[in-house]
Amino acid sequence: MTKNELIQKFEAVFGEGGEIVTVFSPGRVNMIGEHTDYNGGHVFPCALTIGTYFAARKREDTKVRFFSGNFEKAGVVERDITAMEFDREKGFSNYLMGMVWTYAQKGMVVDAGMDIYLWGNIPNASGLSSSASIEVGMGKVINVLFGFDVCNKDIALLGQYSENNYNGVNCGIMDQFAIAMGKKDNAIFLDTATLEYEYAPIVLDGMKIVIICTNKKRGLADSKYNERRTECETALAELQKVLDIKALGELTEAEFEANVDAIKCPVRQKRARHAVYENQRTVKAVDMLKSGDVEGFGKLMNASHVSLRDDYEVTGIELDTIAEEAWKIEGCVGARMTGAGFGGCAVAIVKDEAVDAFIKNVGENYVKKIGYAADFYVVEIGDGTGILE
Ligand code: GLA
């Protein structure tokens, strides 16, 4: 959507006049490093060229009015800066109000209302972080409209704060960071323990990144996510009785295996094993990619899926079917689930000449086994959240 189209949509709902700010905030896909970001490990996500578009204008009163082009039937959803509490009935607007609330919590009080039009082309509930895209985009909107001077990296932290404390999902920093800090044609190699990061060009000569959406209804994903996080925290506390560490991400595979008996329950041992091995795998995978070894990178993507399936147990039959069917395709360099899991999406690197066969075969076999269709997207890596010019 262009800036002009966006402004027209805004004016059709909220009327003309005043200064209108326009922002684009991408979705993200994580190439490798899953469920490591709340364990002090590394992640390797990139921003996509699909995302959420915002047009916004300040109001004279205290009303905050949202209109989503994706949920037109919901009409204008009205909130107020004098009553910012989470309100389950008001659906998506909680991600937006959460940011108003978060700015206030951090001493940057939003002292007037706003009219906001938004529209996104990230598939709904796909695990490509439409919620973080909305949070970071809203953070940018507030920043510009109210003249706060928060850099994108800090907007990412505000987004995570809002998700944790307003929306009640105990997520790590990966999604908001990838969205706020993304760079065209690059993935971000981020150390979540220190927030040090480096851009690594994704040079895929003759290959494409394909995202496969399971279309599974998400259900209990948030509560299971929080449960995994608690399991890792308990395992860490048990390891800390014998090791001087702050996070699972500090351990090598060998250090972990030498001390695994400190973790008293076999399920927690598996969870922690995934966190440790996945972090090490991510560091190795990025090294391989930097040295031009895309095939090696792909093999580690496959290994990541296996670990998420067997040790972390967050895949499920839908994501497993996609990964296993993808691995059978000649020309599929690597494939794995991406994001939190429990449905959502998988990501694959596929050679150009194999993309059509990949979509056809994986698609057909998915329907046969699961009973409904998956969606396929050949995606591009884009820039992070910014003003739409
Ligand atoms: C979700 C969370 C992230 C991260 C991933 C799993 O996307 O929001 O912080 O934990 O799951 O890697």
Q: Are residues 113 and 260 in the same domain?
A: no
Supply the CATH number for residue 109's domain.
3.30.230.10
- CB 339 near ligand 1, within 6 Å: yes
Q: What is the pLDDT of residue 127?
A: 83
Q: Are residues 188 and 297 in the same domain?
A: no
> In this structure, what token pair is assigned to residue 69?
């082009």
Q: Are residues 78 and 156 in the same domain?
A: yes
Name the residue of 28, 29, 31, 35 whose CB sits within 8 Å of the most ligand 1 atoms, as the mutation to test its pocket. 35
Name the residue of 29, 134, 225 whose CB sits within 8 Å of the most ligand 1 atoms, as the mutation to test its pocket. 225
Domain that holds residue 131: 3-202+383-387
Name the residue of 37, 177, 281 whose CB sits within 8 Å of the most ligand 1 atoms, as the mutation to test its pocket. 37
Instruction: Reply yes or no on whether 175 is catalytic.
Output: yes
pLDDT along the chain (389 residues), means of 10: 97 97 98 98 98 98 97 94 93 94 97 97 86 97 97 98 93 97 98 98 94 85 89 98 98 98 98 98 97 97 98 97 98 97 96 98 98 96 97
> In this structure, what token pair is assigned to residue 210?
């394909």
- CB 178 near ligand 1, within 6 Å: no
Closest-lying ligand 1 atom to the alpha carbon of residue 35: 12
Q: What is the pLDDT of residue 125?
A: 74
End-to-end CA separation in angstroms for the chain: 11
- CB 27 near ligand 1, within 6 Å: no
Long-range contacts of 200-203 (CB under 8 A, 24+ apart): 200/44, 200/286, 200/289, 200/290, 202/31, 202/46, 202/289, 202/381, 203/292
Q: Are residues 24 and 158 in the same domain?
A: yes
Q: What is the pLDDT of residue 220?
A: 58
Q: What is the pLDDT of residue 272?
A: 98
Q: Are residues 177 and 285 in the same domain?
A: no
> In this structure, what token pair is assigned to residue 201?
């060009």
Considering only CA atoms, which of 132, 126, 140 is closest in space to residue 54? 140
Q: How far is the CA of 118 from the centre of ligand 1 (A)?
A: 24
Closest-lying ligand 1 atom to the alpha carbon of residue 132: 8
Closest-lying ligand 1 atom to the alpha carbon of residue 169: 8
Q: Are residues 11 and 126 in the same domain?
A: yes
Contact 338, 34 (CB under 8 A): yes
Q: Are residues 120 and 215 in the same domain?
A: no
Q: Are residues 240 and 169 in the same domain?
A: no
Q: Are residues 91 and 181 in the same domain?
A: yes
Q: Are residues 155 and 216 in the same domain?
A: no
Instruction: Count the domains in the chain.
Output: 2
Q: How far is the CA of 164 from the centre of ligand 1 (A)?
A: 12
Closest-lying ligand 1 atom to the alpha carbon of residue 129: 7
DSSP 8-state class, residue 83:
B
Q: Are residues 124 and 264 in the same domain?
A: no
Q: Indicate if the alpha-carbon torsion angle 178, 380, 127, 40 is positive or negative.
A: negative
Q: How far is the CA of 229 from the centre of ligand 1 (A)?
A: 10
Supply the CATH number for residue 301's domain.
3.30.70.890
Q: Are residues 140 and 243 in the same domain?
A: no
Q: How far is the CA of 235 from the centre of ligand 1 (A)?
A: 19
Q: How far is the CA of 33 from the centre of ligand 1 (A)?
A: 10
| From 175, 185, 222, 287, the catalytic residue | 175
Closest-lying ligand 1 atom to the alpha carbon of residue 33: 12
Contact 5, 30 (CB under 8 A): no
